[in-house]
Amino acid sequence: MRWVQKLNESIKRGLRSWLNVVPANPYSIQINEVLDFEAHAICNRIWYRGDSNELEQMYQQNPEYADKFKFWACKCSPGMEMRKIHTGLPGLIVRILSSIVLDDMNDFEFKDAKQETLWKEIEKNNKIKKKMEKALKDALYIGDGAFKVTINTKKSQYPILKWYPGDRVELVRDGGDELQEVMFKTPYSDHGRTYVLNERYGNGYIINELYLHDKLVDIKSIPATANLADWKFDESVILAVPLQIYESTKYEGRGGSIFDGKLDSFDAFDEAWSQWMDALRAGRAKTYIPECLVPHDPETGRPIKPNMFDNRYFAADGDMRDKQQNVINTDQPIIPHESYLASYVTALDLCLQGIISPCTLGIDVKKLDNAEAQREKEKATLYTRNAIVEALQEVLPEVVSVCINAFNILHNKGTEEVDVNIPFGEYANPSFESQVETIGKAKTQGIMSIERCVEELYGDTLDEHCKQEEIARLKKEQGIAEVEEPGLNLEGVNVIEGENRTQNIPNVPEGVPGTAGGGKGTGANGDIRPGKI
């Protein structure tokens, strides 16, 4: 038996050696970053501007950024030039998203009336609506940006709110992603030189630095910054508020653009549309004329070359045989419109996936969709809008608080907490007719009161006073009378809280509830109970 055990042990040891797994050697993947955040923001800005000439220049001047096979980076062969068309879709997406969000933003709701009055003056002085529109557009296609609050008593007695896009802002954060400092960059030109003013906004301080070609120079080097001075104040306040909708997947601590991951799709969409239009131009009717009938230049006698745009005529072979008829023939090529339309729709879907619905942009690419399908497609827009609204509801109260506290600092007052709510209306509300039909059914079936019907039907379109008047009119027309609830006469009854008894008051006739005459008793909660005390 011992030799059997030894044999088993040797087999086990052999299996161990056979099943030995050698771990894989670690591999390192090195990726060279092509653009930094500022250059990436410039690229997104050019796409937003929607100029085809600028797009072609950007891609052809930066071959290291774009491969040579992209549509906007390619060059046409001599004699085979193709018209490159930009559809303007990226800029349209940003403008539509901005409008559907800001149009539903209601008045700010304050708990403190003094803060509300002060904010209305600041809002009027700064034209907040226009600045918010620009800020939201920049944050969508660049990725982020920041609001800066300045005080200049020569221009205004109230704080001045300015917006800086992400390509002119640097955010300094600590290890825990907490914002420590916001640096605003402002270029100045003086005597052919470009200076950059860096304003560092931190907790309780503002530091101004002037740079010339990445070299720090005196702040008084140019007249535009000669009167600037550093400023210190309450350390609990930073007079800058960054804004971002999404987080960037490439740049740590920065915001993500709505164009991230979509630029190749936009490039392909422009190519699909340009090829379709090029096919239409190339597919014009061609007229074949015998060489003897081709128009000739009266001065030189040479045949006139047709224009590449119209291609009105082409030379055909002709001879001098008997009974030869020199006939002019017209040829109309067949253009596969269905194939081009399918490519166009597919490229458009890739551009809009996860961002916005075609219905929101007014694009009708599926003519067989019913109303329910159209509403389902609006969910993509709704998700994007919710993300934007959530970001604004988080940032705008901070902007209001910073502006009000900047006013307090200017007048040597202490900082205060500002409680403000930023309400937004609902998106894609059903029509008034459909609401009447739905609410009417609920009221008829007895599952909704008149008060709730009025609230659901009119919402924010009527104020509270008008709603109460409407409720009273409806109840009067429907014969619903409101009668005051009869009160209980407790005269002469002394209710003692905390004890299940009442005291009998003298000179009270028998039969009155709560007396010793055998009426009703009053409990600790004031309820009337039968029986003697």
- The total number of structural domains that make up the chain: 2
What pLDDT is stored for residue 266 in this prediction?
A: 94
Minimum mean pLDDT range among 283-287, 347-351, 408-412 = 283-287
From 461, 483, 505, the end of a domain falls on 483
Please tell me what DSSP assigns to residue 349.
H
Where b means 16+ CB within 10 Å and e means fewer, 324-348 reads eeeeeeeeeeeeeeeebeebbeebb
Q: Is residue 419 part of a domain?
A: no
pTM, 2 dp = 0.73
For residue 447, being part of any structural domain is answered with yes
Banded model confidence at residue 16, pLDDT cuts 50, 70, 90:
low
Distance between CA atoms of 180 and 203, rounded to whole angstroms?
Answer: 7
Owning domain of residue 457: 430-483
Answer whether residue 494 is part of any domain: yes
Report pLDDT digits (tens) over 79-104: 778 889 999 999 999 999 999 999 88
Same domain, yes or no, for 474 and 502? no
Q: 454 vs 434, 476, 478, CA distance in Å?
A: 15, 15, 14
The pLDDT score that the predictor gives to residue 105 is 86
Nearest to 96 by CA among 512, 449, 385: 385
Rounded to 5°, angle at Cα 470 from 466 and 471? 120
Neighbours of 381 (CB within 10 A): 22
Residue 157 in domain:
no
Is 443 inside a domain boundary?
Answer: yes
List Cβ neighbours of 25 (8 Å cut-off, separation of 6 or more): none
Instruction: Check pLDDT > 60 for residue 316.
Output: no
450 falls within a domain: yes
Measure the CA dihedral 524/527/528/529, to 10°: -70
Of 420, 476, 412, the C-alpha closest to 114 is: 420
pLDDT in tens, 360-408: 888 875 554 555 555 666 788 888 998 999 999 999 999 999 999 999 9
| pLDDT value for 317 | 58
Shared-domain flag, residues 434 and 479: yes
- The whole-chain average pLDDT of the chain stands at 80
Tell me the CA distances in angstroms from 196 to 43, 83, 287, one per residue in order. 21, 40, 62
Average pLDDT over residues 265-292: 83
For residue 403, being part of any structural domain is answered with no
Answer whether 266's CB lies under 8 Å from 90's CB.
Answer: yes
Residue 58 half-sphere exposure toward CB, CA atoms < 13 A: 22
pLDDT level of residue 164 (50, 70, 90 thresholds): very high
Please check whether residue 531 lies inside any domain of the structure.
Answer: yes
Residue 55: other Cβ atoms inside 10 A: 22
pLDDT in tens, 453-464: 888 777 766 778
Same domain, 491 and 475: no
Q: What is the per-residue pLDDT across 19-74, written as a single tens digit (0 to 9) for each?
A: 567 777 777 788 878 888 888 999 999 999 999 999 999 888 877 776 778 888 88
> Out of 261-270, 343-352, 424-433, 510-519, which region has the weakest mean confidence (pLDDT)?
510-519
